[in-house]
Structure 1
Amino acid sequence: MQKMKWKNYLCYFVIFILLGTAVTVKPSISKAEESDVNITLLGTADIHGRFMPWDYALDGANTSGSLTQLYTVIKKVRQENPNTILVDAGDTIQGNSVELFNDQPQSPMMVAMNAMEYDAWAFGNHEFNFGLDTLKKVSEQYKGKTLAGNIYKENGERFLPAYTIVEKDGIKVGIIGMNTPMISDFEKGTDHLDGLVVKNPVEETKKAIKELEGKVDVMVGVMHMGLENENGIPGTGVQDIANACPELSAIFAAHMHKLVKKEVVNGVIITEPDKYGTHISRIDLTFTKQDGKLVLKDKTATAIPVKNTDGTTVVSDPTLEDTLTPFHEYARGDANVVVAQLKGRNLVPENEIKGIPSVQIQETPLSDFFHEVMLYYSKADVVAHQIDNDNARLDVGPIKKKDIAYNYQYALGEITV
């Protein structure tokens, strides 16, 4: 009888232990269900034709930044977090001789962006430099989503969508794209915006947010605008958008060619990756489940440089570089086309004072040459220009296309007084 009692006690004890074990399993399952989800967004901007680490004006290597180098960084981040979204904030198809391919079957920028699997591309002001037909031809080669939420057709329809939704690991991310309203001024006097109306990006972002409400878990801006207002004009900087739209979790800025690792305005994180592919912005969003709902738990931002701390630079992705080599060779060939012969003397004298470029402080035959060309082709009464290259030179001998581009790298517009 006593033995039976102990057997019963032992059975009860075993059952109790088993039940206890079963009870302790439940919290661990619940914890797994409530685990965090991390979403990474990478953003490029103002690449300006740097599809490979080469300066086609100089016809020489330039490893300070390019898409092929950024792709090495992007692939590493994607390995760390498969839940990665890639966006571009514009000024993509102008600069570094990439315009050569506007009338070609393919643009190297579109080939690269497709290979890199960009999710969205918000147009910048320089996308409109060549007219709408060229923009349409080039941008239609891109397989991702193109955005320009504050540009409308005259009939009231949007020129391009204001947003797209990208889902990663169950998280729906609304990406809103806007362009600087200054394009109306930049393209004044041309037909590049014919049939289009450029609206206030602050108000258009508000409108896009309302359209996205209830459809996404988080909203991020991809804006071709700088942090601060341009020339003091309200509504031209993303600070104004952040102040008016706290629903945004973060904004990728662009346009001003500045490095902004992380700024916070009205609770909205802002980052800008400088220019020419020297950096890529990174935003990390951490979500958790609370009462069955996804909640943004944490967010942070930074900018990853192509130049390493030891002075070396990130190596190009070899596969992408191979893909782009035909475009590279074509651009180099064009840069070396001889267009004229210079006889007599060099057009820029040696610097009289070391470190002070003569071309910047005195009249030179080179500046006279540019003035004569501008007067002849513009038919204007007065012209002005800036030689923005401290090392400008044009020596006796054959003049190649790259020599002109090297000495006069950026053209501004008309000024009427």
Structure 2
Amino acid sequence: MKNTKYSVLCLAILAGLAGCSDDETIINTDSGYAPVVTEGKTLTNTPDIVVKSQNEVDELTITIGATSDLHGRIFGYDYALDAVDADAGLTRIATLLQNEKAKNPNMILIDIGDTVQGNSAQLFNDDPTHPVVSTLNALEFDLWVPGNHEFNFERSFIDRNLNHFNGAVVSSNIKWEENSANYIRAFQIFEIDGAKVAIVGVTPSNVPNWEASAPGHFAGLKFEEELASTRAAVDELIEKYSPDVIIGAFHIGRDSDAGAGVHMIAAEMADKFDVILAGHEHATYIESIKKSSGDDVTSTDISVDGADTVENKEVSGEYNESNRAQSVKIIEPGKWGWALAKAEIQLKKNTSGKWEMVDTTLSNVTTDGVAEDEGISAQFQYVDDISKEDAQTVLGTVTGDFTPGTGADEAIHEDYNNEAGRLYSTIHTAKVIDTPLMDFINQIQIEKSKAVVSAASLFSDSSNLVDGQEYAKKDSTNLYKYDNTLIGINMTGANLKRYMEWSYTYFNTYKEGDLTVSFVKGSKAYMYDQFDGKIQFEVDLTGDAFAMDENNQITNEGNRINIIEIDGKPFDADASYKVALNSYRWGSNVKKFGWATDADVYYDSVNEAVYAIRDMLTEHVELNQGVNAADFTNPNWEFVQYQANGAITQLRTDGAEGEALWNRLINQEICVQIDPDNPKYPGILDSLNVNDANSYFVNPNAGDSDPVKVYQGCSL
């Protein structure tokens, strides 16, 4: 303890946010399964103290391993891309564990959430136990912290799977509304050779906002603020158990859009926690946070330079009894089973027989080059077989190119490079010009909701549809990877413009000499909506960006958007317009910001036979035996800078420095600067600029015959 005051299946086409029930108010009734959770009672799978071993020793190394954000990856295979992930999957984690458990048989294994959603995992939502949970059980995981995506389905789904997990299920901030009792345990105590280890879980408090359109997903539950809940849990466990080590297992990012992030909790409670294992961000890092309060957070990267998998002990120093109250170390293992985060905690008994800290060492043990475990692979081969068969089901043929120039990259006109994990320029053409690719989503949303205006995001840079290709079910998943449903709302013109201004804050302000756009630091692709339908508008990136304060009060209305007309009439800020948007955007932003209320909802696809937007795309292709770009060509918007006489267009064809630099990017001779702190959504941080030599760098692998090496040159 730290120095304290106390020392098979729904049909795939129907699998979406609401599980297999159309009635979101029903709890614990999907597929006829009996309720496994008693309302108002804490779901408990394990004894108060789980004893791992009882040897008499004076020195001890406690080893903790953790995965996070598996998103359905039992196997290292991306079913939407129909491609192997050579450094992913629980089958590879299983191989690592053979070696780790041979050295540390009492290793505590944790999964930190976002486990059973994604990568065709919804195909198995009606199984008594989801196969990903069965895989965790087969690998003898000790503890599971549910992430936000565990609540993408009706609550009975997560009830059942938490109950069927063989280890502890832990989160300190999920409570019953009726009596504020814990939904699952706030923490779990483990005992290894007499040393007590407490593990505290946290789930994002923003779940009710993210799932606002489907309250049945968290029916009867409330999600309390992360820091306060963590404090209360730690105070309780110290009073009851006086643990020798306290560990955090937090499914939250370092910084948070809502509630407390890992950095804030770590800084406020560095004197309580010894190690924090994190998830949610899909990032890979090892950091140290000093004890502080408020917004005064000091974070230090303590990984080896150029190898963020290993702690640099020369930087971090020894973490022992004399200084353990001054800081806490944090580690995150990335996504999809890319690595096993490992914390090695050395303890030694003092002369009084009390355990004291000697040191901690963190590392991310990667699965790159690791073979898949044959036993686990064989046991769950049916999951791989069913997922591939479903994903590869051909529905029709693509007619016409859905992005101009065939390839998605706006500079080199090549599609997403799976091995490199990115577009070369990181700028998808469909993000900067009006394309049939985005109109396909928006027009289907308009058709279903009868809206005048529709909003949708390009979730993945790997999305594209090319003339002549077969359209398989996986293409719908690749284009629309989330399980969102569709909402139709009545919205005032003034609030529609605010929504549009907010969306285009995704982009940095244009500077003279820019040859490309660039994305705001830390921006997320799913937070940028494009608007289609009977609306004509322009976007000028020289204008002020919309801004809000931490209380969601508008501090700058923004002036990037010029709405010319809607439904054939001049734009009217006082008029009411029918707008289609996904359930996430509705709950997390539009409703939260007060731009519409529940009374404004006139359509909700959860009441339809096909209610997930992704499945609406699949339905259209199946009914029409394909999809034609000509049917989804509605040029209704453009960036001023991309117009024929726009600054970017003119500079790219100036016959001088601008055109020369643009051609160097096209020829992959130079690389753009990528946001280093946004691995989940790699994007250009600074626009390629003819006046700024720091906006790019020379590609050392330019001209290499291996395309992957050319891409890798931009990552060196």
How high is the TM-score relative to the length of structure 1? 0.84
Deviations 1:194-237 (A, max 9, x none): 21111112111111112212512211111111222x13x4x421
How many angstroms does 1:288 deviate by? 0.3
* Distance (whole Å) between structure 1 residues aligned to residue 152 and residue 432 of structure 2: 31
* Distance (whole Å) between structure 1 residues aligned to residue 394 and residue 388 of structure 2: 12
What SS class does the counterpart of residue 164 from structure 1 fall into? strand
Deviations 1:249-272 (A, max 9, x none): 111111111111232332111111
How many angstroms does 1:51 deviate by? 0.8
Aligned length: 377
Query: Does the aligned pair in 1 maintain the 2:251–2:280 contact within 8 Å?
Result: yes
What SS class does the counterpart of residue 243 from structure 1 fall into? helix
Supply the AA of the counterpart residue of 2:381. T
Uncovered stretches (5+) of structure 1, i.e. residues with no partner: 1-31, 308-312
Written as runs of structure 1 = structure 2, the 5 A alignment for 1:176-191 is 176-191=200-215
How many angstroms does 1:363 deviate by? 2.5
- Residue 163 of structure 2 is matched in structure 1 by 140
Alignment of 1:407 onto 2:479: yes
* Distance (whole Å) between structure 2 residues aligned to residue 98 and residue 90 of structure 1: 14
Decide which structure has the larger Cα Rg and report it.
1
Query: Does the aligned pair in 1 maintain the 2:56–2:193 contact within 8 Å?
Result: no
Pairing partner for 2:137 from 97, 114, 117: 114
* Distance (whole Å) between structure 2 residues aligned to residue 287 and residue 380 of structure 1: 63
How many angstroms does 1:53 deviate by? 0.8
What SS class does the counterpart of residue 122 from structure 2 fall into? helix
- Residue 217 of structure 1 is matched in structure 2 by 244
Distance 1:111 1:34, change over 3 A: closer
What SS class does the counterpart of residue 160 from structure 2 fall into? helix
Distance 1:61 1:294, change over 3 A: same
Query: Does the aligned pair in 2 maintain the 1:366–1:394 contact within 8 Å?
Result: no
* Distance (whole Å) between structure 1 residues aligned to residue 450 and residue 163 of structure 2: 36
Query: Does the aligned pair in 2 maintain the 1:389–1:407 contact within 8 Å?
Result: no
- Residue 24 of structure 1 is matched in structure 2 by none
Pairing partner for 1:101 from 124, 148, 155: 124
How many angstroms does 1:243 deviate by? 2.5
What SS class does the counterpart of residue 453 from structure 2 fall into? coil
How many angstroms does 1:34 deviate by? 6.9
Alignment of 1:319 onto 2:364: no
Distance 1:261 1:306, change over 3 A: farther
Alignment of 1:162 onto 2:148: no
Query: Does the aligned pair in 2 maintain the 1:288–1:297 contact within 8 Å?
Result: yes
Supply the AA of the counterpart residue of 1:324. F
Distance 1:369 1:33, change over 3 A: closer
Deviations 1:110-137 (A, max 9, x none): 1110011111001100000112111122
Distance 1:106 1:194, change over 3 A: closer
Distance 1:217 1:319, change over 3 A: same
Supply the AA of the counterpart residue of 2:356. V
How many angstroms does 1:380 deviate by? 3.7
* Distance (whole Å) between structure 2 residues aligned to residue 405 and residue 302 of structure 1: 33
Supply the AA of the counterpart residue of 1:273. P
Pairing partner for 1:345 from 369, 388, 400: 400
* Distance (whole Å) between structure 2 residues aligned to residue 73 and residue 133 of structure 1: 33
Deviations 1:166-188 (A, max 9, x none): 22222221111111112122112
* Distance (whole Å) between structure 2 residues aligned to residue 239 and residue 367 of structure 1: 36
What SS class does the counterpart of residue 384 from structure 1 fall into? strand
Written as runs of structure 1 = structure 2, the 5 A alignment for 1:6-405 is 35-154=58-177, 155-191=179-215, 192-213=217-238, 215=241, 216-228=243-255, 230-231=256-257, 233=258, 235-245=259-269, 246-266=271-291, 267-291=327-351, 292-307=353-368, 313-339=369-395, 341-342=396-397, 344-349=399-404, 350-351=406-407, 353-355=411-413, 357-387=428-458, 388-390=460-462, 392-396=464-468, 398-405=470-477
How many angstroms does 1:353 deviate by? 4.5
Distance 1:153 1:315, change over 3 A: same
* Distance (whole Å) between structure 2 residues aligned to residue 84 and residue 358 of structure 1: 47
Query: Does the aligned pair in 2 maintain the 1:360–1:390 contact within 8 Å?
Result: no
How high is the TM-score relative to the length of structure 2? 0.50
How many angstroms does 1:282 deviate by? 0.9
- Residue 13 of structure 1 is matched in structure 2 by none
Distance 1:276 1:33, change over 3 A: closer
* Distance (whole Å) between structure 2 residues aligned to residue 314 and residue 378 of structure 1: 48
Query: Does the aligned pair in 2 maintain the 1:122–1:148 contact within 8 Å?
Result: yes
- Residue 14 of structure 1 is matched in structure 2 by none
* Distance (whole Å) between structure 1 residues aligned to residue 328 and residue 213 of structure 2: 37
Uncovered stretches (5+) of structure 2, i.e. residues with no partner: 1-54, 292-326, 414-424, 485-525, 527-583, 596-716
How many angstroms does 1:306 deviate by? 1.9
Supply the AA of the counterpart residue of 2:222. V
Q: CA RMSD in A?
A: 2.2
Query: Does the aligned pair in 2 maintain the 1:182–1:236 contact within 8 Å?
Result: no
Query: Does the aligned pair in 2 maintain the 1:347–1:366 contact within 8 Å?
Result: yes
Deviations 1:286-321 (A, max 9, x none): 1101021111221121222222xxxxx211111111
The structure whose RCO (Cα within 8 Å, separation 6+) is larger is 1
How many angstroms does 1:139 deviate by? 2.6
* Distance (whole Å) between structure 2 residues aligned to residue 296 and residue 353 of structure 1: 54
Supply the AA of the counterpart residue of 1:364. T
Distance 1:344 1:42, change over 3 A: closer
Distance 1:33 1:153, change over 3 A: closer
